[in-house]
Structure 1
């Protein structure tokens, strides 16, 4: 019975790796939408809301971390060497930390939007919606990275 358990864990890790890669694509796409929205609103309104998460580039650099941690989670299913499991653990811990920083930035941005006394116009409403979607995908990455780290450590230590 202990022989089948690590195989089941590795297959589930591969699924979570795919989830991480899809999350990375969605986060990057939301960043591209932000950039497009900002450029359109500057041309149309002359002045627009510039999001904090887009200013620090979170959708762009975080998507690289999410992608690499997902790739390593998929590769560890095929070749479960000790060093590859170690790299997968480190990358997913880093991905978790990046997502945590992103959640702090998103929370800060949503709180600033809520505290604003300006009458919300369409660009602000659209920006808030994109920020909320970014928050949802960041929470998904937090969860996926945590689960992958837990399962890799469990498989590595035979528990």
Structure 2
């Protein structure tokens, strides 16, 4: 099978790559492009560890083909920090101890950023609903929810 040529934008930078027609975006990101921040938890779209945004839509990269990124914008965890400065969500996750093993953390951060871009003043219920597709076995959800709500407050200047 011939590899497909894909031109896309990842974290604001133009990127070109070759991939198999059946290769997942997760596999391309991690194995071909060396962007290992996006994690594989389940490989079936059930855990959210591999969450990225594709043209602003939150997706599980294990369920998206690499060729589907063609002509679209992909945002990964690697695109969150601004140089040496952490994104406010990353800072709040650290301050609230909302992470432990780190497998789920990138997916939670990408999903939370996606939520706050749409709704800068979410309720606790809205945060819980939005992050329901992300699973954590270590930290528990309360610290994660508190970190997202605290980040939202700071981002609004409240």
- Normalised by the length of structure 1, the TM-score is 0.26
Larger C-alpha radius of gyration, 1 or 2? Answer: 1
Larger RCO, structures 1/2 (Cα 8 Å, 6+ apart) = 1
- Normalised by the length of structure 2, the TM-score is 0.26
Higher strand proportion, which one? Answer: 2
